[in-house]
Amino acid sequence: MTILVTGNLGYVGTNTTEYLRKLAFDVIGLDNGFYRNCNIGSIKYDVKTIDKDIRDTEISDFSNVDTVVHLAALSNDPVGEIDKSLTLDINYNGAVRVAELAKKSNVQRFVFVSTQSIYGLSEENIELDEDNSIKNPQTAYASSKWLAEQDILSMANETFTTTALRPSTVFGWGPRLRSDIVFNNLLLSGLKNKKINVHSDGTPWRPVVHISDLVRAIELCIKIAPEKISGKAFNIGLLGGNFTVKQIAEAAKDCLGGIPISYNTENILDSRSYQVSFKKAKHELNFKANTNLKSGGTELVTESKKLMANRIDLLDRKTNRLLQINYLLSNGYIDETLRFTI
């Protein structure tokens, strides 16, 4: 089987590519290269990568491909706010374009990695399910993902299996590590500053999932019988893995040897709050996430300390998507449409 992974040079994409290669799948990448040089750890598996923006994909890019795993996107809420129209163009129009071309090229299976940000802000103190809950995206990123998910799932038929995975906020170690997502950020900034700074009162709810568990869920959607997943969406996260930001901060404190936590309610950066149900993935896919905050956080701290001993800054642009894109823009590497100029 040949698998095309879009966004293979990103945080999740790098781990996904390495995992699938270990399983002896033939893997091809497609990536515009924003984060090509952002690796801070060793990359064990190099794969052929089509150097291309998803907005410029052609049907020939999908020749002899059996499955597409679509990860490429402007990858979080702050980045998505750079230009909301561009976010829509890339995350919605670009994603749908990839799916349409894949279908025309007789690709059999399309795994779209969406986001739980589509739930946005929930005032109900209940776990939101995939199908009956209100979707309340608060940002351009979340809205673009929700639009793309709906269109892509509607393409499913007897010869083209489409499914959407809605991962919780991802955490954990990877060669192209991200420091701009909640648990990773609390750990890495805590390591550097000897104090954990929380930009809220700690009460918002935020489900989490370890990167290795998300990758296993992707593997499952590649292998499972089409009728179990086609046209369906699945929340991916730890059973019982709905945590308040305060609980996540306490977990970071535990992993970092008890350093102090400071709550800053004057500069709240993220208003999202929602609890999510993971029962559908358990019952219909027999999927269970394995890695908890303690074990995943301890691994991240251990690997990060090795890099910090070599004076590597784990909070610079290589691990922060907004800083990296602003660097590319300010130095003229990409233009106002976020396409490379050189």
What are the tens digits of pLDDT across the range 304-342?
999 999 999 999 999 999 999 999 999 999 999 999 997
- Distance, in Å, from the CA atom of 142 to the CA atom of 78, rounded to the nearest integer, reads 11
What are the tens digits of pLDDT across the range 184-203?
999 999 999 999 999 888 99
Instruction: Assess if residue 342 is contained within a domain.
Output: no
Tell me, what's the pLDDT at 44?
85
Q: What is the largest CA-CA distance in the chain?
A: 55
Instruction: Assess if residue 192 is contained within a domain.
Output: yes
**Rg from Cα positions in the chain:** 19
Torsion of CA 328, 329, 331, 333, to 10 degrees: 60
- Greater pLDDT, 14 or 121: 14
- Greater pLDDT, 125 or 86: 86
Tell me, what's the pLDDT at 232?
98
Per residue, what are the HEC states of the chain?
CEEEEECCCCHHHHHHHHHHHHCCCEEEEEECCCCCCCCCCCCCCCCCEEECCHHHCCHHHHCCCCEEEECCCCCCHHHHCCCHHHHHHHHHHHHHHHHHHHHHCCCCEEEEECCHHHHCECCCCCEECCCCCCCCCCCHHHHHHHHHHHHHHCCCCCCCEEEEEEECEEECCCCCCCCCCHHHHHHHHHHHHCCEEECCCCCCEEEEEEHHHHHHHHHHHHHCCHHHHCCEEEEECCCCCEEEHHHHHHHHHHHCCCCCEEECCCCCCCCCECEECCHHHHHHHCCCCCCCHHHHHHHHHHHHHHHHHCCCCCCCCCCCHHHHHHHHHHCCCECCCCCECC
What's 251's domain CATH number? 3.40.50.720
Burial of 231 (0-12, 13-18, 19+ CB in 10 A): middle
Taking the model in full, what pTM does it have? 0.95
| 289 touches 238 (CB < 8 A) | yes
Kindly state the average pLDDT of the residues 135-158: 95
CA 171 to chain centre: 9
What are the tens digits of pLDDT across the range 220-251?
999 999 999 999 999 999 988 899 999 999 99
* pLDDT, averaged across the chain: 94
Kindly state the average pLDDT of the residues 151-161: 98
Instruction: Assess if residue 337 is contained within a domain.
Output: no
- Distance, in Å, from the CA atom of 207 to the CA atom of 215, rounded to the nearest integer, reads 17
Interhelix angle 293-309/245-255, nearest 10 degrees: 50
Tell me, what's the pLDDT at 91?
96
Show the domain range for 238. 2-330
Tokens representing residue 176 in the block: 């192209």
Kindly state the average pLDDT of the residues 159-184: 97
Residue 218 has pLDDT above 80, yes or no: yes
What are the tens digits of pLDDT across the range 67-89?
999 999 998 667 767 788 999 99
Tell me, what's the pLDDT at 41?
87
| 207 touches 248 (CB < 8 A) | no
Instruction: Assess if residue 8 is contained within a domain.
Output: yes
- Distance, in Å, from the CA atom of 107 to the CA atom of 93, rounded to the nearest integer, reads 19
Tell me, what's the pLDDT at 282?
96
Instruction: Assess if residue 341 is contained within a domain.
Output: no
Tokens representing residue 342 in the block: 């050189």
Instruction: Assess if residue 236 is contained within a domain.
Output: yes
Please give the tally of structural domains in the chain. 1
Close Cβ partners of 93 (under 8 Å, ≥ 6 residues apart)? 55
Instruction: Assess if residue 42 is contained within a domain.
Output: yes
| 115 touches 87 (CB < 8 A) | no
Instruction: Assess if residue 215 is contained within a domain.
Output: yes
- Distance, in Å, from the CA atom of 138 to the CA atom of 271, rounded to the nearest integer, reads 8
Residue 269 has pLDDT above 70, yes or no: no
Close Cβ partners of 157 (under 8 Å, ≥ 6 residues apart)? none
- Distance, in Å, from the CA atom of 73 to the CA atom of 253, rounded to the nearest integer, reads 31
- Greater pLDDT, 77 or 281: 281
